């Protein structure tokens, strides 16, 4: 089978599972977020090895797991600074006795992975429960919000890829991703906004049309920037994909980079405006 065929078959199998876990919420969605966060952190570890770094995989995994579990069980809207501080100070102490290559690289990349996946994962969880109601913990509106974000990201990526393949003439960021074009990025942006408008009409009754458009803009811009940032990390490591874990798609980090990057910004936005 061609790579495109494998890619489509995997998507047909995986997308319904992701949407079901999102709809169910609670521990089902938490397990999904924790899994993609830890797998992405592992893939970051593999990227870092190409640069001579030895990420503290065990301590980073523990930190992300603890942080996301705390965020899931807590009603706090913001990440606890004390937890980050203690984790970081212990990381320094561990590195003192670890003696595995460059301490600066090890500390820097472990801290980056911990912060990025903990914070992004936390706000993804908060988005799912944003419309929390004491009368109904799994209020379906939060599920529809995250489902809409996922669908919009997927449509944006797909439209950008095929639009860029057919019409792309002007390179978007050749130093980082030689195949991406301005034409593809613009088409992806347009589909992102249109997707959120359409989904607002069918799923998001609690969201105004104006705010749905703004979320589409956030995904259309920051989602694609998140993809470019991950491409920067892979290019620096000299690798095409973060891993080959997902047939036809590369790694978990490859598939969820846009979601990780845009989720905190979407949360900050909807938390600061009247719905």
The predicted-structure confidence for 84-116, as pLDDT tens digits, reads as follows 889 999 999 999 999 898 999 999 999 999 999
Number of domains in the chain: 1
pTM of the entire predicted model:
0.92
Element (H, E) at 52: none
- Which of 186, 163, 44 has the alpha carbon at shortest distance from 112? 44
Q: Specify if 275 maps to a domain.
A: no
Angular region, 99: left φ>0, alpha ψ -120 to 50, beta rest: left
- Which of 117, 136, 104 has the alpha carbon at shortest distance from 260? 117
| CB burial readout 205-214, b (16+ within 10 A) else e | ebbeeebbeb
- Which of 211, 202, 237 has the alpha carbon at shortest distance from 48? 237
**Residue 77 banded pLDDT, cuts 50, 70, 90:** low
Domain of residue 70 covers 3-270
DSSP assignments along 212-248, one per residue: HHHHHHHIIIIIHHHHHHHHHHHHHHT-SSS-S-BTT
* Lowest mean pLDDT, pick from 72-86, 212-226, 239-253: 72-86
**Residue 258 banded pLDDT, cuts 50, 70, 90:** very high
Assign 180 to helix, strand or coil. strand
pLDDT tens-digit readout, 137-174: 446 889 999 999 999 999 999 999 899 888 988 899 88
Q: What pLDDT does 74 receive? A: 82
271 has a pLDDT exceeding 80: yes
Q: What pLDDT does 6 receive? A: 76
Residue 111 in tokens? 């801290």
Q: What is the CA radius of gyration of the chain?
A: 19
Q: What pLDDT does 135 receive? A: 44
175 has a pLDDT exceeding 50: yes
**Using CA atoms, how far apart are residues 153 and 189, in angstroms rounded to an integer?**
10
In the chain, what percentage of residues exceed pLDDT 70? 93
Say which residues have a Cβ less than 8 Å from residue 200's Cβ, sequence separation at least 6.
148, 207, 209, 212
Mean pLDDT of 113-136: 84
């Amino acid at each position: 089978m061609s790579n495109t065929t494998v890619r489509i078959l995997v998507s047909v199998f995986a997308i319904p599972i992701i949407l079901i876990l999102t709809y169910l919420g609670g521990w089902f969605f938490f397990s999904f977020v924790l899994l993609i966060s830890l797998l992405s952190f592992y893939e970051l570890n593999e990227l870092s090895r190409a640069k001579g770094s030895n990420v503290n995989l065990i301590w980073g995994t523990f930190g992300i797991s603890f942080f996301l579990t705390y965020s899931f069980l807590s009603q706090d809207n913001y990440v606890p600074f004390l937890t980050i501080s203690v984790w970081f100070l212990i990381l320094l102490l561990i590195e003192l006795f670890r003696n595995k290559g460059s301490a600066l690289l090890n500390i820097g990349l472990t801290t980056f992975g911990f912060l990025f996946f903990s914070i992004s994962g936390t706000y993804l969880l908060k988005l799912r429960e944003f419309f929390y109601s004491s009368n109904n913990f799994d209020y379906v509106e939060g599920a529809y919000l995250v489902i809409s974000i996922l669908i919009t990201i997927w449509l944006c990526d797909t439209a950008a890829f095929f639009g860029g393949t057919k019409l792309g003439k002007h390179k978007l960021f050749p130093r980082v991703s030689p195949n991406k074009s301005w034409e593809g990025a613009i088409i992806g942006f347009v589909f992102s906004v249109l997707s959120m408008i359409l989904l607002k009409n069918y799923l998001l009754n609690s969201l105004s049309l104006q705010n749905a458009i703004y979320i589409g803009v956030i995904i259309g811009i920051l989602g694609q920037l998140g993809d470019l940032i991950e491409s920067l990390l892979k290019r620096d490591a000299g690798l095409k994909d973060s891993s080959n874990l997902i047939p036809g798609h590369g790694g978990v980090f490859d598939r969820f980079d846009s979601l990780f990057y845009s989720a905190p910004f979407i949360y900050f936005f909807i938390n600061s405006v009247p719905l």
